[in-house]
A and B are shown apart, each in its own frame.
Chain A
């Protein structure tokens, strides 16, 4: 009898050694930007995996079934929303068989639900306007104001999933907020002399950041969202460059730079290649350094 009790004790001990006191929360995000914010909030209490990479156009990620494996055991899925991932995320979520992360699921956080959207349509909507996002512009994560709002939503969700560490998430949220506020001061100072100046971008990816910075977009290389720039459109942008005094064009490194180079040749603007997200370049290794890279690029583009 004593031998049985001893064996049971050993078994229980082995099981307790094999199982850590608190397994980390498995967070899966659709983009590297969301992953970076989730890491800021979760710290060592979370394991974060991004389905796409910062060098990828988030509209056109492959619905590779291998990604469904990453979703299978997700404790929390954070997606951008506003149809940014409509071309690839829905089949992966279904394939994952993870009930909690299905649309409306208890462990699904759509970041767009935490922010106020821009570029909402104000008239009839159809695809003659290009591949528009009818719910609003989904490229909001480079805006410090909205990044903090998303961070707060992630912290709240993590606290719900992992109540024993709720205070930890709240403390890290406060720390992230303070870090962003400190960085914002420097960024604002960097851009303040150029308030009101304009740039041209490939797609409406910087709308929120420009709004935050006080700069403006004089035009876009894409005549309509998702539509390749024809030479006639590039020529019309050359006239805008001259009339609005535009000095630079910003192009994410996943876009073909040929149209931007054409505009450079036509109108003498600088072409500045920027990361499309956290991880898009070596320098943009976390959220603050990503926005830092964008602010430096903006500062270059308007001089």
Chain B
């Protein structure tokens, strides 16, 4: 609708009367009192880029709710359950020559929330950059991604349980430095109030992350990241230390849309009352093959601490993925998972999902 208005206005501009010698319209009689003057579409040009991303799914599981404890997605047992997982509303614009602003609101069955809302500096010297507001913590690779940037329908349980149910994030700031090295090496130092894991209690958190990318060849890129978070733990069960390492390798013939991505992360978490040897570890490894412009397949192995109510041990999840893209703005995914719980309790979970974007064209995630 806006476009129709814009085009009508542009047509009106094209049909505008001749201009005088100084570029001013010749007076034609009555003045247009109250008109702001200038180009009528000027104000519309200042609108931020707006996009809406909608995620819906149909889920089925053989697991009980107890067996799904500490998972961001809990499905009713033995029922094909429709879900509207999230609606994300994004506003993005340059604020002035020095900073840009990004705001992401989410609407989900849990309510309305601010996923991120932050400013980013554009002109600090010495390779420095600052993000401030409510931000995802510069920790790990997958925990910083918005839902529509996830390759799989869900996040690895190891990330949910050891880092944050919806990733790690909160109010604060992140100072980053793009080092002057000949390859991409970026150091982040952040200070935030975060709620790690599934706890709703905010903890003051200091974070550091070093992420580096190396071009191995014209068609292969290696990314290596190291992250560490130190939490102010005021109760024995609260997070104290969190460490992570991530590895990413992408193979893509530049002339092709096809690519293969191998990715993995490990996380180690120490609670306030734990010694280092009592820390819990977990992680995932995944391989994703983009066959062409439309098809993508993937597999993921995830090793996470089992839910507390079950026998102590780890939960292993094997997940397969099939995705079909009609365009850059719509995809359908099917994701079956085999869940291996401690004590021989095994189960199955299957999710079929759709996702669409309307509005501004987002950047392709790397």
Asked if A134 meets B3 with Cβ closer than 8 Å, knowing A65-B213, A68-B178, A94-B120, the reply is yes
Task: Tell which of A56, A72, A87 touches B178, judged by Cβ atoms closer than 8 Å.
Answer: A72
Task: Give me the interface of A with B, judged by CB distance under 8 Å.
Answer: 52-53, 55-57, 60, 62-66, 68-69, 72, 83, 86-88, 90-91, 94-97, 99, 102-104, 121-127, 130-131, 134, 226-228, 253-254, 256
Segment of B153-161, B248-256, B269-277 in the binding face = B248-256
Are the CB atoms of A66 and B183 closer together than 8 Å?
yes
Residue of chain A at shortest CB distance from B366 = A63
Chain B residues within an 8 Å CB radius of A95: 178, 186
* Residue among B221, B256, B364 with max Cβ neighbours from chain A (10 Å): B364
* 23 contacts across the A-B interface (CB closer than 8 A): A62-B221, A63-B363, A64-B213, A64-B366, A65-B213, A66-B183, A66-B213, A68-B178, A69-B182, A87-B361, A88-B364, A96-B178, A97-B127, A99-B123, A102-B97, A102-B122, A103-B94, A104-B97, A121-B3, A126-B3, A127-B329, A131-B328, A228-B294
A-contact bits for B241-262, CB 8 A (1 contact / 0 none) = 0000000001010111100000
Task: Give me the interface of B with A, judged by CB distance under 8 Å.
Answer: 3-4, 7, 94, 97-98, 100, 120, 122-124, 127-129, 178, 180, 182-184, 186, 211, 213-215, 218, 221, 223, 250, 252, 254-257, 292-294, 327-329, 358, 361-366
Asked if A90 meets B363 with Cβ closer than 8 Å, knowing A227-B327, A253-B255, the reply is yes
Residue of chain B at shortest CB distance from A102 = B122
Give, as a whole number of angstroms, the nearest-CB distance from A236 to chain B: 20
Residue of chain A at shortest CB distance from B325 = A228
Give, as a whole number of angstroms, the nearest-CB distance from B251 to chain A: 11
A96 to B327, CA, bound (A): 29
A289 to B124, CA, bound (A): 42
* Residue among A94, A104, A134, A253 with max Cβ neighbours from chain B (10 Å): A94
Are the CB atoms of A60 and B364 closer together than 8 Å?
yes
Are the CB atoms of A86 and B97 closer together than 8 Å?
no
A78 to B357, CA, bound (A): 29
A86 to B223, CA, bound (A): 23
Chain B residues within an 8 Å CB radius of A94: 100, 120, 122, 129
Are the CB atoms of A254 and B255 closer together than 8 Å?
yes
Chain B residues within an 8 Å CB radius of A97: 122, 124, 127-129, 178
A104 to B93, CA, bound (A): 13
Give, as a whole number of angstroms, the nearest-CB distance from B52 to chain A: 13
Chain A residues within an 8 Å CB radius of B255: 55-56, 253-254
Give, as a whole number of angstroms, the nearest-CB distance from A111 to chain B: 19
A127 to B365, CA, bound (A): 21
Give, as a whole number of angstroms, the nearest-CB distance from B98 to chain A: 8
